[in-house]
């Protein structure tokens, strides 16, 4: 099995005043390259924390994480930023678009930050595939919720990452639109040979997943991170 994401004995505790919050209480997880995996769990289950640790935005309290050959938690700040830009596409729960930039500027922002020569034809292909050509000059505030999510997907895709981490991309969307957004992610994942790890608070994404993990109170319910399907 070609494992691209491997999490072992992961724990993450946050301190809130004198209280210790166990966001992740011992997670083992393996995801095979090229799969479309879903972590399902209710509010506060630890889904966002898990994705943040995978991307190096948070460090674990205990345990190890590997994305390919990299442990994101062991990188310094600059290395972690480069790793995220080149290897990972992160679709944030709240999209995180920059309000003062146009749709086009938002999409190419990570490429511009990297100061590398980028593949404009590929960027245009992503934009076409996601149906964003007509709103490239719009500002994020004028978009619908689903358009904002699709822009966030495009921004995550254009740097050709091997792994896409999508935090509840169908949240707040009606079921049909949510399905369409997840379908787009699955389609682009296949098209561009990516591994996708998506979180969801309901069963919206389940029928499209290659594997599903159920998360509750900081733990995966399936034994040792094995798929439930
Ligand atoms: N920075 C933080 N400081 C303190 N507690 C935190 C922090 N981030 C998350 N938590 C707590 O950790 C737990 C897991 O949070 P997390 O956001 O990972 O859950 P989630 O599954 O993404 O929930 P949601 O469905 O609401 O997005 C929650 O109890 C949350 O309040
Ligand atoms: Mg969350």
- Lowest average pLDDT, out of 9-18, 149-158, 172-181, goes to 172-181
Q: What is the pLDDT of residues 2-44, one digit of tens each?
A: 899 999 999 999 998 999 999 999 999 999 999 999 999 999 9
Spatial distance between the Cα atoms of 85 and 111, rounded to a whole number of angstroms: 8
Q: In angstroms, what is the span from residue 216 Cα to ligand 1's centroid?
A: 12
**Domain 3-225 class in CATH:** alpha beta
Average pLDDT score over residue span 136-142:
96
Average pLDDT score over residue span 117-128:
86
pLDDT at 9: 95
User: Has this prediction a pTM greater than 0.75?
Assistant: yes
The protein residue whose alpha carbon is closest to atom 27 in ligand 1 is 43
pLDDT at 155: 92
pLDDT at 224: 46
- pLDDT higher than threshold 50 for residue 223: no
Spatial distance between the Cα atoms of 16 and 200, rounded to a whole number of angstroms: 26
- pLDDT higher than threshold 60 for residue 88: yes
Distances (CA, A) of 14 to 23, 214, 229: 7, 22, 32
The protein residue whose alpha carbon is closest to atom 4 in ligand 1 is 14
Q: Which residue has the higher pLDDT, 109 or 180?
A: 109
pLDDT at 138: 97
pLDDT at 80: 87
- pLDDT higher than threshold 70 for residue 73: yes
Domain boundaries, the chain: 3-225
- pLDDT higher than threshold 90 for residue 108: yes
147 lines ligand 1 (CB under 6 A): no
Cα angle 84, 90, 96 (rounded to 5 degrees) comes to: 115
Q: In angstroms, what is the span from residue 45 Cα to ligand 1's centroid?
A: 7
């Amino acid at each position: 099995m070609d494992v691209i994401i491997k999490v072992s004995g992961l724990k993450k505790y946050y301190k809130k005043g004198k209280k210790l919050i166990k966001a992740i209480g011992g997670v083992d997880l393996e995801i095979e390259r090229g799969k479309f995996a879903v972590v399902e769990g209710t509010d506060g289950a630890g889904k966002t924390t898990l994705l943040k640790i995978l991307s190096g935005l948070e460090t674990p309290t205990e345990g190890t994480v590997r994305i390919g050959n990299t442990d994101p938690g062991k990188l310094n700040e600059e290395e972690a930023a480069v790793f995220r830009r080149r290897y990972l596409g992160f679709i944030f729960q709240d999209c995180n678009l920059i309000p003062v930039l146009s749709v086009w500027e938002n999409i190419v922002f990570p490429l511009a930050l990297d100061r590398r020569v980028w593949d404009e034809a590929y960027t245009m292909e992503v934009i076409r595939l996601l149906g964003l050509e007509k709103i490239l000059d719009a500002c994020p505030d004028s978009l619908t919720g689903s358009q904002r999510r699709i822009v966030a997907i495009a921004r995550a895709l254009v740097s050709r990452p091997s792994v896409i981490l999508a935090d509840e991309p169908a949240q707040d969307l009606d079921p049909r639109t949510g399905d369409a957004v997840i379908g787009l992610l699955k389609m682009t994942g296949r098209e561009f040979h990516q591994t996708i790890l998506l979180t969801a608070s309901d069963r919206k994404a389940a029928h499209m997943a290659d594997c599903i993990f159920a998360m509750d109170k900081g733990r995966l319910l399936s034994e040792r991170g094995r798929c439930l399907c």
